[in-house]
């Protein structure tokens, strides 16, 4: 392929890891038994690597004793806390497939995930903020035939698992681990679906262990690093780029709070002398705007990762100058690619870090293709970004047709994002082929929200689009056609209808009632025209 083509491969002298997550953790424990592994700041608890291994192994043996075996799906539904991490590594050690459930899900979303993945045991917080998890689980449990066990964190079954595990035989765990392959499925993460139902991206040990490791390599992590992780564990950002990047290097995982809190994050960076901080741009904006920001001692910070949406140049400059994160890295990816495909390097200029999403990661390939022909375009021309390599998911859980739509016969993952590759191999994301909306780092698919709003008795038809927003990057706007005789819906009425039934970040901020949608001559809705009109209606810059 000529040098002028939009193709690049990540040449790397460091080999891929060939072990399972459990084996990799065990190796780190042997090297650094007395170093800090995990700090749950809000709970006032901490573990060395030896202590973490003891609790992970106890939970793993407890699960085995309960009858959880290789291939069984175990769900985790909780905000960030130490137990989340214990479940992540304990399930990996016995070959169970961890299904990560978004803490913002409501009962109907929970039910779908429980049924679609066939979760056998659900570990869950009792409640969080206004969400009564225990009540929602009991509401849907009769309709989830595969769900045998519910272990509320800190509850009787949870405590029993740990107690039984501590009395268990380590040889049982050794046998379970010996039966595993790095290519086995270890994690299912649900991404919002264009058909109205989320898809379960199924990831292997090889997928996510290597992605976490190489993201950490590009951040120059060692056992001396302490990584503050305010991003959610249920995303790859938290559990892969955060936890697995740490444990594969002997670094320390620092949980500042159950959910993002700018003051708690800054306080954790100070008290734990963190060297790295993660977040989507809105998190960094909130931290920089926190009253008393200048009173926090952030002098330990060296690096970090910003991902989820483009970073404004002035925010990047402040992160570097006011937070001391001179080596902060921009990452781009998607759940289906474990997640990171491209990343900026520590010595990249500020301009590179705000105008591009970096270069291809180690051992990966990227190309930009014409969406119609599939041919690789010349550098400098836009097309669809595709990626291939160790990071591409095994597939969507029990959905081979939808997998084939995303991953072609040559194992290229088609991202649906429009990108341009420059002469040096740096990529800029210029748009999306699909209508995905990125709100504060959350990937939202309008079709899912449209399907839900269609259940409103007064709604005849609805189309959801993304509109620019200075805080979240994008916000949702619903265009609604009302049934004859119905009163026009307001944004407040839509919010009230969605409350408790749809995750808060999926609820449209704006509502526009219309007689008709702009249509093409073939009868397709013209969302491009709707976005242009929305900018005018909301008086937003284009």
For 72, counting Cβ atoms within 10 Å of its Cβ (0-12 exposed, 13-18 middle, 19+ buried), the class is: buried
Comparing CA positions, the residue from 40, 47, 94, 101 lying closest to residue 71 is 94
The CA distance from 490 to 358, in Å, is 42
Predicted TM-score (pTM) of the model is 0.85
Token pair for 431: 């748009």
Alpha helical stretches, state H, 167-312: 170-178, 205-218, 236-238, 245-247, 262-271, 281-288
Residues 6+ away with beta carbon under 8 Å from 333:
236, 307, 339, 340, 341, 342, 391
d(CA 395, CA 416) in angstroms, rounded, equals 16
Q: E-strand spans in 104-255?
A: 119-124, 149-152, 185-191, 199-204, 226-228, 252-255
Q: Residues with Cβ < 8 Å from 192, sequence gap 6 or more?
A: 198, 443, 444, 445, 448, 506
The 3 state secondary structure assigned to 418-457 is EEEECCCCCEEEEEECCCCEEECCEEECHHHHHHHHCCCC
Using alpha carbons, select from 101, 160, 159, 158 the residue that is nearest to residue 133. 101
Residue 179 in tokens: 């039966």
Q: Encoding tokens for residue 40? A: 């749950």
Residue whose entry in the numeric block shows the structure tokens 């990125």: 438
C-alpha torsion sign, points 212, 213, 218, 222? positive
CATH code of the region 8-418: 3.40.50.12780
User: Which CATH architecture group holds 437-537?
Assistant: 2-Layer Sandwich (3.30)
Phi-psi region of 484 (alpha: psi -120 to 50; beta: other; left: phi over 0): beta
**Which residue is listed with tokens 């901490």?**
46
Task: Please list the pLDDT of the chain residue by residue as tens digits (542 residues).
Answer: 455 899 999 999 999 999 999 999 999 999 999 999 999 999 999 999 999 999 999 999 999 999 999 999 999 999 999 999 999 999 999 999 999 999 989 999 999 999 999 999 999 999 999 999 999 999 999 999 999 999 999 999 999 999 999 999 999 999 999 999 999 999 999 986 434 578 999 999 999 999 999 999 999 999 999 999 999 999 999 999 999 999 999 999 999 999 999 999 999 999 999 999 999 888 998 899 999 999 999 999 999 999 987 777 788 999 999 999 999 999 999 999 999 999 999 999 999 998 899 999 999 999 999 988 999 999 999 899 999 999 999 999 999 999 999 999 999 999 998 899 999 999 998 766 767 788 998 878 787 888 789 889 999 888 999 999 999 999 999 999 898 899 999 999 999 999 999 999 999 999 999 998 897 544 567 888 899 999 999 998 86
Q: Give me the residue spans of the domains in the chain.
A: 8-418, 437-537
DSSP H stretches of helix in 390-526? 400-406, 446-453, 491-498
């Amino acid at each position: 392929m000529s040098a002028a083509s939009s193709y690049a491969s990540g040449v790397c002298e460091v080999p891929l890891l060939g072990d399972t997550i459990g084996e990799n953790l065990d190796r780190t424990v042997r090297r650094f038994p007395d170093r800090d592994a995990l700090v749950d700041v809000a709970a006032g608890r901490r573990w060395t690597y030896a202590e973490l291994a003891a609790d992970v192994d106890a939970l793993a043996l407890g699960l085995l004793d309960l009858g959880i075996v290789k291939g069984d799906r175990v769900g985790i539904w909780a905000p960030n806390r130490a137990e989340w991490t214990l479940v992540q590594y304990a399930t990996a050690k016995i070959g169970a497939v961890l299904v990560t459930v978004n803490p913002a899900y409501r009962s109907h979303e929970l039910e779908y995930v429980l049924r679609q993945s066939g979760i056998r045991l659900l570990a869950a917080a009792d409640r969080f903020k206004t969400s009564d998890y225990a009540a929602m689980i009991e509401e849907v449990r009769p309709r989830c035939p595969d769900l045998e066990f519910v272990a509320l964190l800190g509850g009787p079954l949870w405590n029993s698992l740990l107690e039984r595990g501590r009395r268990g035989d380590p040889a049982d765990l050794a046998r379970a681990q010996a039966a595993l392959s790095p290519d086995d499925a270890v994690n299912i993460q649900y991404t919002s679906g264009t058909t109205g139902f989320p898809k379960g991206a199924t990831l292997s040990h090889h997928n996510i262990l290597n992605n976490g490791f190489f993201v950490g390599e590009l951040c120059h992590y060692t056992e001396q690093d302490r990584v503050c992780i305010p991003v959610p564990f249920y995303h790859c950002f938290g559990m892969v780029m955060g936890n697995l990047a740490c444990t594969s290097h002997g670094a320390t995982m620092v949980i500042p709070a159950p959910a993002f809190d700018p003051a708690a994050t800054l306080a954790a960076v100070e008290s734990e002398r963190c060297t790295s901080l993660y977040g989507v741009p809105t998190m960094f904006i909130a931290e920089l705007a926190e009253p008393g920001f200048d009173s926090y001692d952030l002098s330990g910070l060296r690096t970090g990762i910003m991902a989820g949406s483009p970073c404004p140049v002035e925010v990047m400059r402040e992160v570097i100058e006011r937070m001391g994160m001179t080596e902060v890295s921009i990452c781009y990816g998607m759940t289906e690619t474990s997640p990171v495909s491209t990343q900026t390097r520590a010595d990249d200029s500020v301009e590179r870090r705000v105008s591009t999403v970096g270069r291809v990661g180690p051992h990966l390939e990227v190309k930009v293709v014409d969406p119609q022909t599939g041919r690789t375009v010349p550098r400098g021309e836009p097309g669809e970004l595709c990626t291939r390599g160790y990071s591409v998911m095994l597939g969507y859980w029990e959905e081979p047709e939808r997998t084939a739509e995303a991953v072609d016969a040559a194992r290229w993952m088609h991202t649906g994002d429009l990108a341009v590759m420059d002469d040096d191999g740096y990529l800029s994301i210029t748009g999306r082929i699909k209508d995905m909306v990125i709100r504060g780092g959350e990937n939202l698919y309008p079709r899912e929200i449209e399907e839900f709003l269609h259940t409103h008795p007064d709604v005849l038809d609805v189309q959801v689009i993304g509109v620019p927003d200075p805080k979240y990057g994008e916000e949702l706007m619903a265009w609604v056609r009302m049934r004859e005789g119905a009163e026009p819906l307001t944004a407040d009425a839509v919010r009230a209808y969605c409350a408790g039934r749809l995750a808060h970040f999926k609820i449209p901020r704006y509502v526009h009632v219309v007689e008709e949608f702009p249509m093409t001559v073939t009868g397709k809705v013209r969302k491009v025209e709707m976005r242009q009109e929305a900018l005018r209606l909301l008086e937003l810059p284009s």
